[in-house]
Amino acid sequence: MLNSLFNLHTMRIKFEEPVDIIASILWTVILLFLIVFNVKGAIRIIFGLPFVIFIPGYLFIFLLFPGNEEIDIIERIALSFGLSIAIVPLVGLILNYTPWGIRLESVATSLSILVFILATFAVIRWHGLEPSKRFIISFEINLPENKVDKILTISLIFAIILSLILLIYVITMPREGEKFTEFYILGPSGKAEDYPTNISSNETEKVIIGIANHEGKTINYTVEMWLIKYNSFLEFDGKNDYAKANITIPYVPKTIEAWVKASEDDSVYSKTYEVEDYKKLGEVYNDSGNIVVRAVEGEIGYIIDKIKVPKGFNGPFVLSILSKVDNNTLNESVWKAEIYEGKKLKWTYGMKANEYESANLYQYKESPTWFFDASGSYEIKIYVYGVVDLYIDKISIMAKRGAIGRNWPNEALMVFDGKKNGLQIGYLTKMENGKQSYEWFNSYIPRDKKFHQVVVTFDNGIKKCYIDGEFKEAIKIEGEMLECSGKLIIGGDYSYFFGGIDDVRLYNRALTANEIKQNYLGNVTTKGMIAWWSFNEGYGSIAHDSVGSYNATLYGCEWAIDGIADMWFMDKIEVKLNSTKVNIEKEWEPQWEYEYSFKINKKGLFKLAFLLFKGKTENFQKWQEFVDEKRIENAYRECHLWIKVR
């Protein structure tokens, strides 16, 4: 079976039988013995890894190439690893569709049968070849004649042997396992499904709480149950979101209050272009001291070209063009604006001659709201049709941020325009004399990811603006506001809002500075209040008015949460558990589980939080109110459910 030849410089070992096949079978038998007798530890890992990642592929290669001329030993070994990695998952896939499933016993048995079958047919094919053509294991080491080289070679062999010994030592030495605690909640059926997430007020529900101690020592645990209410608000995307309230009373609101936050993605600023710098067709013209670009009747083509929108514009914007014509009687297009994203035409809008209120009077024409992407590259072009003399003065990109009003342009109670300083506050109304009152305060809401209280009042011809409880400025106007019975639009009047809106309140009187300050501090004044949408529902398509019956229907806007509003202590459980070991080879088994029943006597969207602490904790009074986010942060583990309570 074994032939060996030694001399002073060469050592050759040559086997005459397929010892590699025999070794593979013996290796498999030893591993099966270890599994059957539940021998654990490093020895099973040492025998298990080659069995999975090498032996099946090696035997399959031996079956395909039993001779010594088809492939060399390096290719044979490399292909053995690759085929094993392909064969073993395939066996697992097949087992997954059998009654035995993917388990240690089923996988070991299946691979062992496969090994024995491959080995049998491989040996049969190997014996069918001439002895000189059979693949056999042989070793040949040529020792160098030079004494120094011989010492180096022996040292190298010694280093390899030492490395193997160290590798075996690292594998076989016991390692301290990870210390941790399992903490989980299950549905009423004991599975991770069918959680009670949509319930009625005062309806009793239950979940199962589970703990498993793998910390290596006995531990006292405490599980605290808390009901948490977060501040909810409405989030608007600036495209077509709004909420419409069924408020048709003929009041003239003298105070409107809202908590608003600019979107984090909003660049909130505008830009105006002097068109003479971008003229392509027509002429630069001095129109009574105002420099404009004029295209006379008959000139057709691009009068303005290559207006680049600066990088960084992000969010909803409108394009506004200031122009005039010398003849406003024709029902024909005068100009067309084109906006390109890269080389692709993205948006267009235009104007006809008879859309001008009068000839030779400059007038703005605004586009629909378009959503710019900060990563995009935009360019504006203006095309003229040559039907009349046209004068173009300015082109503006405007960050109009509508907020709250009724039947714009008759009444827009609170609006915003995006500027570099943030959101500029406006109070745009129609007066009893029929004139529009477009008042913009020199006050801004910063883009700082925070909500800010904004209040505007109107009384005795004076409009006032307050931010975060502090008076900012006043504007005097003539006349009284026109009563408007249109339905109130939140987030969609004047333009679409881009950001968050919370706590909208209307009053039929002008609040005093002290009352506004108290509202900011949370001591809300109710005298003269017409409506109050607090947006504390957190879900659904209706925002309820807590004062009257002017509930608002949501169209597109989404609920969002921002910080904890309140916490109620519900219960706690104390349990002492010994440490257990994790057995990854057996089915998971719970150590401690508790069926917890609860009912919630409030309505809205809540988080039912289960907080796990090591050791005992202080006692709290049930249903006592807290606002303590650190309570959650200091917990060792947390599990929770979001629950809608009707």
DSSP H or E run through 22 = helix 19-36
Q: What is the pLDDT of residue 237?
A: 86
Please give the pLDDT value at position 4: 45
541 and 404 in a common domain: yes
Q: How confident is the model at residue 393 (pLDDT cuts 50, 70, 90)?
A: very high
DSSP state of 350: E
Cα 375 to the chain's mean position, in Å?
19
SS3 content of the chain, % helix, strand, coil (to 5): 20, 45, 35
Is the pLDDT at 352 greater than 80? The verdict is yes
Least confident range from 345-349, 461-465, 582-586: namely 582-586
For residue 147, being part of any structural domain is answered with no
Task: Flag whether pLDDT at 380 surpasses 90.
Answer: yes
pLDDT for 437: 64
Strands (E), 47-197: 138-142, 180-186
pLDDT: which is higher, 304 or 625: 304
Residues 573 and 545 in one domain: no
For residues 409 and 551, state if they share a domain.
yes
Is 255 domain-assigned?
yes
Q: Is residue 150 part of a domain?
A: no
Mean pLDDT of 88-92: 84
Q: Is 458 in the same domain as 334?
A: no
Place of tokens 């299950």: 186
Q: What is the mean pLDDT of residues 3-25?
A: 65
The reported pLDDT for the residue numbered 435 is 64
pLDDT over 50 at 463, yes or no: yes
Residue 319: the pLDDT is 92
* Overall domain count for the chain: 4
Distance, CA of 211 to CA of 218 (rounded, Å) = 13
For the stretch 66-88, pLDDT in tens is 887 777 777 777 788 888 888 88
Pick the most confident of 170-184, 330-344, 420-434, 603-617.
330-344
Identify whether 173 is part of a domain: no
Which residue is it, tokens 């122009």? 323
Would you state the pLDDT for residue 387? 95
Question: Phi-psi bin for 604: left (phi > 0), alpha (psi -120 to 50), beta?
Answer: left
Nearest-CA neighbor of 268 among 121, 55, 444, 480?
444
Closest C-alpha to 241, from 21, 11, 558: 558
Give CA torsion, residues 303, 304, 305, 308, to 10 deg. -170
Residues 419, 507, single domain; the answer is: yes
The pLDDT value given to residue 399: 84
Q: Is residue 549 part of a domain?
A: yes
Does residue 120 lie within any of the structural domains? yes
Query: Do 526 and 614 reside in the same domain of the chain?
Result: no
Q: Are residues 464 and 485 in the same domain?
A: yes
Q: What is the pLDDT of residue 480?
A: 66
The whole-angstrom separation of Cα 328 and Cα 360 is 9
Q: Pick the residue with more confidence: 7 or 465?
A: 465
CA distances from 222 to 105, 228, 551, 579 (A): 39, 19, 43, 16
CB 243 within 8 A of CB 491: yes
Question: Are residues 408 and 539 located together in one domain of the fold?
Answer: yes
Q: Which domain holds residue 405?
A: 234-266+400-557
Report the C-alpha gap between 412 and 494 in whole angstroms: 7
Q: Pull the structure tokens for residue 310.
A: 């600066």
pTM of the entire structure?
Answer: 0.63
**Beta strands in 97-191, from DSSP E residues, in sequence order:** 138-142, 180-186
Check whether residue 510 and residue 409 sit in a common domain.
yes
Distance in angstroms (rounded) separating the CA atoms of residues 64 and 356 = 87
Q: Name the band, by pLDDT with cuts 50, 70 and 90, for residue 124.
A: confident
Region 299-325: what's the mean pLDDT?
Answer: 90
- Which single residue is written with the structure tokens 């605690």? 181
346 pLDDT more than 90? yes
SS3 call for 383 = strand
Q: Quick one: pLDDT band at residue 532, thresholds 50, 70, 90?
A: very high
- The last residue of one of the domains, among 399, 423, 449, is 399
CATH code for position 290? 2.60.120.260
Q: What is the pLDDT of residues 208-231, one digit of tens each?
A: 999 988 888 888 999 999 998 888
Q: Do 259 and 305 contact (CB within 8 A), yes or no? A: no
Question: Quick check: 420 pLDDT over 70?
Answer: yes
Decide: 344 and 326 in contact? Cβ < 8 Å. no
Provide Rg for the chain, Cα atoms.
40
Residue where a domain stops, chosen among 500, 527, 557: 557
- Tell me if 243 is assigned to some domain: yes
pLDDT value at position 339?
Answer: 95
Same domain? 357 vs 425: no
Q: What is the mean pLDDT of residues 313-317?
A: 85
Question: Residues with Cβ < 8 Å from 283, sequence gap 6 or more?
Answer: 293, 294
Q: Distance of CA 77 to CAs 31, 80, 192, Å?
A: 21, 5, 45
Alpha carbons 527 and 513: distance in angstroms, whole number: 14
Mean pLDDT confidence for 416-441: 74
Residue 164 has pLDDT above 80, yes or no: no
Confirm if 87 and 54 have CB atoms less than 8 A apart.
Answer: no
Give the helix/strand (H/E) hosting 64.
helix 55-64
| Residues 508 and 599 grouped into a single domain | no
Q: How far apart are CA 90 and CA 461, in angstroms?
A: 82
pLDDT bucket at 385, cuts 50 / 70 / 90 = very high
More confident residue, 41 or 203: 203
Binning pLDDT at 50, 70 and 90, where does residue 624 land?
confident
Distances (CA, A) of 620 to 567, 571, 572, 624: 12, 8, 9, 7
Q: For the chain, give the mean pLDDT.
A: 83
pLDDT digits (tens, 9 = 90+) for 175-202: 455 688 889 999 888 888 888 888 888 8
Give residue 174's pLDDT band: very low, low, confident or very high (50, 70, 90).
Answer: very low
Give pLDDT, residue 484.
Answer: 64
What CATH code is carried by the domain that includes residue 618? 2.60.40.10
Lowest model confidence (mean pLDDT) among 104-118, 159-173, 306-320, 385-399: 159-173
**Which pLDDT does position 433 carry in this prediction?**
62
Q: Are residues 215 and 251 in the same domain?
A: no
- Residue 5: pLDDT band (50, 70, 90) is very low
pLDDT for 137 equals 73
| CATH code for the domain in which residue 445 is found | 2.60.120.200
Lookup: tokens for 293: 């670009």
Domain stops at, among 524, 557, 590: 557
> How distant, in Å, are the alpha carbons of 84, 244, 434, 464 from that of 410?
77, 16, 9, 19
> What per-residue confidence (pLDDT) applies to 12?
55
Inside any domain, residue 172: no
Is residue 18 over pLDDT 90?
no
Least Cα distance to 414 among 352, 488, 358, 345 occurs for: 488
Which whole number is the average pLDDT over 137-144? 59
